[in-house]
């Protein structure tokens, strides 16, 4: 019986030591959390600085770690209290044990209150950080929109200036362009007329060549008849008159209208001379 009572007393003492150590750890964590929490009056002026945001983020992370530690310790204390209650019911604890348990419960309740306050502050800090992020993003977007508006306005002004410049250039070039087109059209018409005249001249020249060739053949026939009959002509024909003095045109003068006109006139004179000779020969034969 004495051994059983001694074992029971040792068990109660061990439980009290464990609970006391856990509560000391919880008190230390609560003190650290209280150091990490910053009041609203301290935070609002510093929100305008970037360094304050980084410091607040670090404090928030530390506070979150302490909060998780407090939750774990609280759960552990609840389990210990439950075990201690069961053990007390079985072992009929003394007045000192009951007093110690009540103190622990009061401390646990105080810690729960601190935990609730910390949760509320965490939620408020989370909301403030999110609002600060949103406001900063909105300001950055507004700044970018203003810069883009300035760029668009500048580009529109430059575009309008370029349009006016090109319009002035086009208006200044348009009369000379119309004049150049008219000159080109006139030159093309003249070239076409010259081409038609050259074609006509070539056709008439071909006709003259054919006429001269026919006259030469007739002269050759007449010369052959005169040799066969050995008739003596009363008016002998000078052989030099029968030669057609038609000099071919130089290549560079073939497109010259004046040269063509002179050449055709000379050819016509030669052909007229030959016709006169042929006619005189025919009259003599008759």
For 38-64, write each residue's pLDDT tens digit.
Answer: 444 444 444 445 565 566 667 667 777
What is the DSSP secondary structure assignment for residue 243, as one 8-state letter?
S
Q: Are residues 118 and 20 in the same domain?
A: yes
Nearest Cα residue to 63 out of 12, 126, 18? 126
Q: Is it the case that residue 159 has pLDDT exceeding 80?
A: yes
Separation between Cα atoms, residue 26 and residue 73, nearest integer Å: 7
Question: Tokens 């070539």 — which residue?
Answer: 202
Q: Are residues 39 and 144 in the same domain?
A: yes
Provide the token pair at 163.
């349009």
Residue 143 belongs to a domain with what CATH number? 1.20.58
Q: Is residue 168 part of a domain?
A: no
Alpha-carbon dihedral angle through residues 234, 236, 241, 243, given to the nearest 10 degrees: 120
Query: For 214, how many CA atoms within 13 A lie in the half-sphere containing its CB?
Result: 8
Q: Are residues 266 and 212 in the same domain?
A: yes
Q: Is residue 108 part of a domain?
A: yes
Q: Are residues 245 and 143 in the same domain?
A: no
Q: Are residues 219 and 154 in the same domain?
A: no
Q: What is the mean pLDDT of the chain?
A: 68
**Helix/strand/coil percentages in the chain, nearest 5:** 90, 0, 10
Q: Are residues 134 and 252 in the same domain?
A: no
Q: Is it the case that residue 37 has pLDDT exceeding 50?
A: no
Q: Is residue 82 part of a domain?
A: yes
Q: Are residues 39 and 153 in the same domain?
A: yes
Residue 44: what pLDDT? 47
Separation between Cα atoms, residue 141 and residue 232, nearest integer Å: 125
Question: Tokens 């304050």 — which residue?
Answer: 52
Query: For 115, how many CA atoms within 13 A lie in the half-sphere containing its CB?
Result: 20
Q: Is residue 36 part of a domain?
A: yes
Residue 229: what pLDDT? 44
Q: Which residues span the domain enclosing 121?
A: 2-158
Q: Is it the case that residue 259 has pLDDT exceeding 50?
A: yes
Separation between Cα atoms, residue 110 and residue 108, nearest integer Å: 5
The structural domain count of the chain equals 2
Q: Which of 134, 158, 182 is the last residue of a domain?
A: 158
Q: Are residues 105 and 30 in the same domain?
A: yes
Q: Are residues 77 and 19 in the same domain?
A: yes
Nearest Cα residue to 64 out of 124, 117, 118, 129? 118
Q: Is residue 176 part of a domain?
A: no
Q: Is residue 263 part of a domain?
A: yes
Q: Are residues 30 and 151 in the same domain?
A: yes
| pTM (predicted TM-score) | 0.24
Q: Are residues 137 and 198 in the same domain?
A: no
Residue 231: what pLDDT? 45
Residue 41: what pLDDT? 44
Q: Is residue 70 part of a domain?
A: yes
Q: Are residues 126 and 37 in the same domain?
A: yes
Q: Is it the case that residue 160 has pLDDT exceeding 70?
A: yes
- Burial of 29: CB neighbours in 10 Å, binned 0-12, 13-18, 19+: buried
Q: Is residue 170 part of a domain?
A: no
Provide the token pair at 182.
């008219």
């Amino acid at each position: 019986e004495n051994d059983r009572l001694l074992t029971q007393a040792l068990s109660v003492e061990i439980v009290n030591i464990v609970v006391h150590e856990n509560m000391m750890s919880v008190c230390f964590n609560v003190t650290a959390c209280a150091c990490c929490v910053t009041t609203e009056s301290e935070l609002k002026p510093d929100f305008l600085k970037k360094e304050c945001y980084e410091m607040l983020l670090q404090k928030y992370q530390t506070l979150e770690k302490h909060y998780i530690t407090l939750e774990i310790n609280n759960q552990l204390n609840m389990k210990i209290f439950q075990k201690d209650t069961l053990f007390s019911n079985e072992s009929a604890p003394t007045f000192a044990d009951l007093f110690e348990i009540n103190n622990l419960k009061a401390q646990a309740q105080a810690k729960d209150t601190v935990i609730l306050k910390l949760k509320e502050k965490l939620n408020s800090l989370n909301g403030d950080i999110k609002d600060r992020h949103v406001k900063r993003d909105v300001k950055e977007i507004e700044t970018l929109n203003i810069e883009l508006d300035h760029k668009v306005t500048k580009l529109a002004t430059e575009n309008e200036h370029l349009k006016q410049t090109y319009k002035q250039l086009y208006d200044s070039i348009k009369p000379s362009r119309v004049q150049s087109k008219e000159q080109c059209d006139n030159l093309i018409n003249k070239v076409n007329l010259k081409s038609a005249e050259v074609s006509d001249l070539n056709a008439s020249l071909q006709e003259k060549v054919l006429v001269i060739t026919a006259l030469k053949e007739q002269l050759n026939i007449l010369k052959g008849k005169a040799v066969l009959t050995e008739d003596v002509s009363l008016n002998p024909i000078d052989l030099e008159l029968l030669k057609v003095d038609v000099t071919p045109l130089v290549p560079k003068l073939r497109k010259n209208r004046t040269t063509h006109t002179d050449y055709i006139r000379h050819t016509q004179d030669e052909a007229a001379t030959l016709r006169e000779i042929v006619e005189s020969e025919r009259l003599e034969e008759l």
